[in-house]
Chains A and B, each alone.
Chain A
Amino acid sequence: MTAALPVTAAVPEDWRLPDRGVVGMWCLIIAESAIFTIFVVAYVYYLGKNLSGPEPRDILELPIFISLCLWASSFTVELAVRALRRGEERAFTGFWLATLVLALVFMGGTAREWHHLIYAKGFTIRTNLFGTTYYSLVGLHAFHVIVGIVGLAVVLALALKGEVHREHAHRTHVLGLYWHFVDVVWVIVFTVVYVIGR
Chain B
Amino acid sequence: MASESLTLEREREREGGTTILETLHDWAVTVDHKRLGILYIVYGIVFLAIGGLEAAIMRIQLMSANNHFVTPQVFNRMMTMHGTTMVFLVGVPILFGFGNYLVPLMIGARDMAFPRLNALGFWLTAFGGLLLYFSFIGGEGLSGAGSAPDVGWFAYAPLTAKAFSRGHSTDYWTLAILLGGFGTVGTAVNIVTTVISMRCPGMTLGKMPLLAWMFFTMSAMTLIVMTPLTAAQIMLTIDRYLGGHFFDTQAGGSALLWQHFFWIFGHPEVYVLIIPGFAFVSEILPVFSRKAIFGYPAMVAAVVGIGFVSLGVWAHHMFTVGMNSGANSFFALATMAVGIPTGIKLFNWLGTLWGGKIRFRVPMMFCLAFLFQFLIAGLTGIMLAAVPFDWQVSDSYFVVAHFHYVLVGALVFTIFAAMYYWFPKASGKMLSETLGKWHFWLFVIGFHLTFDTMHIPGLLGMPRRIYTYEADRGWELLNLICTVGVLFQGVAIVIFLWNVIRSLLWGRPAGNDPWDAWTLEWAVSSPPPHYNFALLPVVRSRRPLWDFKHPEDPDWKYQQ
Residue ranges of A at the interface with B (Cβ–Cβ < 8 Å) = 1-7, 9-12, 15, 17-20, 23-24, 27-28, 30-35, 37-39, 42, 45-46, 49-51, 125-126, 128-129, 131-133, 136, 140
- A17, A27, A37, A140 pick with most chain B CB within 10 angstroms: A27
- B202–A15 CB distance below 8 A: yes
Given contacts A7-B535, A20-B113, contact A31 B189 (CB under 8 A): yes
A42 touching B224 by the CB < 8 A rule? no
Within the complex, what minimum Cβ distance (angstroms) separates B262 from chain A?
11
Contact B537 A5 (CB under 8 A): yes
- B540 surroundings in chain A (CB, below 8 A): 6, 9
A7-B535, A49-B252, A125-B244 known; A17-B230 Cβ under 8 A: no
Partner of B538, one of A9, A19, A34: A9
Chain B residues with CB under 8 A of A133: 246
Known: A31-B227, A51-B252. A24 touches B202 (CB 8 A): no
- A136 contacts which of B197, B199, B235, B243 (Cβ < 8 Å)? B235
Q: Are B223 and A27 in contact (CB-based, < 8 A)?
A: yes
| Residue of chain A at shortest CB distance from B114 | A24
Of all chain A residues, which has the CB nearest B108?
Answer: A5
Q: A residues within 8 A CB of B525?
A: 1-2
B548 CB within 8 Å of chain A: yes
Whether the Cβ atoms of B197 and A125 lie closer than 8 Å is no
B20 within 8 A of A: no
Within 8 Å CB of B406, what residues of A?
Answer: none
| Cβ contact within 8 Å between A38 and B261 | yes
Nearest to A34 among chain B residues (CB) is B227
Q: Which residue of B lies closest to A139 (CB)?
A: B238
Query: Taking CB as reference atom, which chain A residue is nearest B524?
Result: A2
* Cβ-Cβ contact count across A and B, 8 Å cutoff: 150
A3, A27, A45: the one contacting B524 at CB < 8 Å is A3
Check A7 against B244 for contact (C-beta < 8 Å): no
Q: Taking A125-B243, A132-B244 as contacts, is the C-beta distance between A1 and B228 under 8 angstroms?
A: no
Q: Apart from A5-B535, A18-B197, A132-B246, what are 18 other A-B pairs with CB-CB below 8 Å?
A: A5-B520, A5-B538, A6-B544, A18-B196, A20-B114, A20-B198, A23-B192, A27-B223, A30-B223, A30-B224, A31-B188, A31-B224, A32-B227, A35-B231, A38-B227, A38-B264, A42-B235, A50-B252
Across-interface contacts of B261 in A (CB, < 8 A): 38
For B165, the chain A residues whose CB sits under 8 A away are none
From B252, B520, B535, contact of A46 by CB (8 A): B252
Is the pair A126, B227 in contact by a Cβ cutoff of 8 Å?
no
B residues lining the A interface (CB < 8 Å): 113-114, 117, 185, 188-190, 192-194, 196-199, 201-202, 223-228, 230-232, 234-235, 238-239, 242-246, 251-254, 257, 261, 264, 511-513, 520, 523-525, 533-540, 544, 547-548
Query: In the bound complex, do residue A38 and residue B232 qualify as a contact, i.e. CB atoms below 8 Å apart?
Result: yes
Sampled A-B contacts (11; CB under 8 Å): A4-B523, A4-B548, A9-B202, A17-B197, A17-B199, A20-B197, A27-B189, A46-B254, A128-B251, A129-B245, A129-B252
Whether A1 lies near B189 (C-beta < 8 A) is no
Query: Please, which residues of chain A bring their CB within 8 A of the CB of B536?
Result: 7
Closest chain A residue to B551 by CB distance? A6
A15 touches B544 (CB 8 A): no
- Alpha-carbon separation in the docked complex, A7 to B223 (Å): 35
Cβ contact of A45, chosen from B257, B520, B535, cutoff 8 A: B257
B218 to chain A minimum Cβ distance, whole angstroms, is 13
A15–B253 Cα distance when bound, in Å, is 54
Contact of B188 (CB < 8 Å), options: A18, A27, A46, A129: A27
B238 touches A34 (CB 8 A): no
Pair B228/A27 contact, Cβ less than 8 Å: no
Measured in the bound complex, the distance between the Cα atoms of B250 and A50 in whole Å is 11
CB-based contact B253/A129 at 8 Å: yes
Name the residue on A nearest B264 (C-beta). Answer: A38
Residue of B nearest to A2 (CB): B525
- Cross-interface CB contact of A28 among B189, B196, B238, B245, cutoff 8 Å: B189
A126 and B252 within 8 A (CB): no
Bound complex: CA A42 to CA B248 (Å):
13
- Whether B223 lies near A34 (C-beta < 8 A) is yes
Residues in A with CB closer than 8 Å to B189 are: 24, 27-28, 31
Q: What separation, in Å, do the CA atoms of A96 and B226 have in the docked complex?
A: 34
